[in-house]
Structure 1
Amino acid sequence: MAKIKVVTDSSVQLTSEEIKKYDITVVPLTITIDGHNYVDGEDISRAEFVKKMNEAKNLPKTSQPALGKFEEIFKELTADGSEVIGIFLARSLSGTIEAARQASQLIGKEQQIKIIDSQLTDRAEGFQVLAATKDAQMGKSMAEIIAHVEKIRDNQVLEMMVVNLDNIIKGGRLGPLAGKIATLLNIRIALTMIKGELEISKKGRGKKFSKNFDRRVLKDIREHKHEIKEVGISYVNTPEECEELAEKIKEINPDINVLVQQTSPIIATHSGNGAYAILYYLDK
């Protein structure tokens, strides 16, 4: 049976230990800040990115990996006859998955390389990647791995709180007038991601709105505490608050593994300072 290798992109939330242990290939996105280009995770860290983002004159831009980069990686991974499963951030957020698909076709290896839209990003994407790598190490078939990944994807939850709309306004996601009013009123928005589409689930004002958001998510975790094994909390510049949230989850069920880490540049760019997301899936 051919070996199965797993590839993902740098928007994924994984620890360096997980990447090394499971031999995961991470293809980096490119970031441009005031005309300077950086390779995500190679010559700029997530903490460094947030600092530069806050000091930048213009909103940073993130770019999908070059087609040639995918071709190079896919050729290398399949050279020994291995199959490859690529799990990438949602199509609605980036053209990364299409670049990967085109590369697999250009090198004539589309039968060897299976591409999956995670329909999410960050730790939610990470859950799928980890499941795939663990299955591969156990010797499961490509069909079994894909079925497992899709089951996780169909039972995942992503809840995000955006507390500062500056980056959303700069990115043109709100009209100038609507953006000005939202800022004046201290409007915050709660986002969710359903079948690959980012949607505003609620709008509110101030810290009270954020606290209600936390209570609602914690209530859902409490109601499903025996079906949830892993939770990711990803943030933009708010580690202390998110560690406190992690403690509340551990109080609900100490067996739930919670990973708290700074999010990737692609998410930080669009969500802005103070944003955080809670990600988990129901193990049904």
Structure 2
Amino acid sequence: MLVVTDSAADFAPEQLEGLKIHVVPLYVIFGETTYRSGVDISHENFYLRLRGGEMPRTSQPSVGEFVSVYRELAKQDPEILSIHLSSALSGTLSAARTAAAMVPEARVTFFDTGGVSVIVGWCAEMAAKAVQAGWSLERILQLLNRIRDKMFGIFMLPTLKYIVAGGRVGHLKGLVGSLMNIKPIMAFDLKAGTIIELGKEFSLRRAILAQADYIAKRFSPGSPLRIQIAHSQNLEGVTILTERLKSLFKCHFLPPATIGPVLGAHGGEGIVGVGVAPMEIFEDLA
């Protein structure tokens, strides 16, 4: 069995060591030029261009790209598990399904993670580890469903500039676009596949620390948790949140992940977010 995902998944490089995960890139568009996220444009270059004042757009992979990937992979193994960002936020999964119907030699099973960033990353990572361990497809899907049921993904936006420019204000219930100085605290509703507003702060530091408070409402103090912080060029924010989480939980930290252009295009530089789930979910593949 082979694992496919898309570049809405964010990983730390260490997570991918020894794992076979095939990533189909989404597009990042600056002006009239289109780049494959993570292929034609690096994370560093992407954020450099943001600092230069350029406003990016994103686009999903084409059906043809998925056809090419599935057709090529089916030569190695017809059994493919394709894991993607929320179908409520992007047409990527729909394109993948259309493509699979055009490649009869591939038996593609799909999983909608309901989120983006490290949520997609964890699902792809654990699926690849389970494949290595010889798990059946049914057992892997049970694990992925458990991750989606128990995982909590939360992040703060340092500015509304990019999300307003991209026309995504509809996801920010209760926020007024003119209040550009607020720092929204957002979470993923992984069952609905949508983004919800949890609160707002006017201080960047407070918005970062508040995420730990919301996590503490979901998980008991001292709980053993698997945790990965993701950021867009905000290592200071990573340190602030790490120290706060250490004081509240028994933390198993993964190395921080850099948020890629897919989410960065909508949130800009300075985002700090975190994915959290009970450690017990992952014990069989530790």
Q: Distance in 2 between matches of 1:18 and 1:55?
A: 31
Letter in 2 for 1:92: A
How far did 1:113 drift?
A: 0.8
Selected match of 2:87 from 69, 88, 91: 91
**Alignment correspondent of 2:146:** 151
Q: Distance in 2 between matches of 1:35 and 1:76?
A: 30
How far did 1:263 drift?
A: 0.2
2:206 aligned with 1:203: no
Stretches (4+) displaced over 6 A? none
**Alignment correspondent of 2:177:** 179
Letter in 2 for 1:13: D
Instruction: Please give the TM-score of this superposition, normalised by the length of structure 1.
Output: 0.87
2:158 aligned with 1:163: yes
2:7 aligned with 1:10: yes
How far did 1:74 drift?
A: 0.7
Selected match of 1:193 from 164, 188, 199: 188
2:252 aligned with 1:268: no
Q: 1:113-144 deviations in whole A, cap 9, x for unaligned? A: 10111101111111111211111111111111
**Alignment correspondent of 2:114:** 119
**Alignment correspondent of 1:27:** 24
SS at 1:21 equivalent: coil
How far did 1:31 drift?
A: 0.9
Q: 1:79-115 deviations in whole A, cap 9, x for unaligned? A: 13441101001112211111111111111246x1101
Letter in 1 for 2:47: V
Aligned-residue sequence identity (percent) comes to: 26
* Kept after mapping to 1: 8 A contact 2:185/2:200: yes
**Alignment correspondent of 1:49:** 46
Deviates more, 1:214-223 or 1:157-166: 214-223
* Shift in alpha-carbon separation, 1:97–1:205, aligned structure 2, 3 A: same
Q: 1:170-220 deviations in whole A, cap 9, x for unaligned? A: 122349x9422x02xx22211111121111111232346415514404635
Selected match of 1:74 from 47, 70, 94: 70
**Alignment correspondent of 1:279:** 275
Deviates more, 1:272-281 or 1:10-19: 10-19
How far did 1:54 drift?
A: 2.8
**Alignment correspondent of 2:96:** 100
- Alignment gaps of 5+ in structure 1: none
Q: Distance in 1 between matches of 2:105 and 2:110?
A: 11
SS at 2:274 equivalent: strand
Q: Distance in 2 between matches of 1:65 and 1:224?
A: 41
* Kept after mapping to 1: 8 A contact 2:83/2:110: yes
How far did 1:44 drift?
A: 1.2
Q: Distance in 2 between matches of 1:163 and 1:80?
A: 44
Size of the aligned set, in residue pairs, is 274
* Kept after mapping to 2: 8 A contact 1:188/1:209: no
State the superposition RMSD in angstroms.
2.3
* Shift in alpha-carbon separation, 1:5–1:245, aligned structure 2, 3 A: same
Letter in 2 for 1:40: S
Q: Distance in 1 between matches of 2:223 and 2:78?
A: 37
Instruction: Please give the TM-score of this superposition, normalised by the length of structure 2.
Output: 0.87
- Alignment gaps of 5+ in structure 2: 282-286
Deviates more, 1:212-221 or 1:16-25: 212-221
**Alignment correspondent of 2:128:** 133
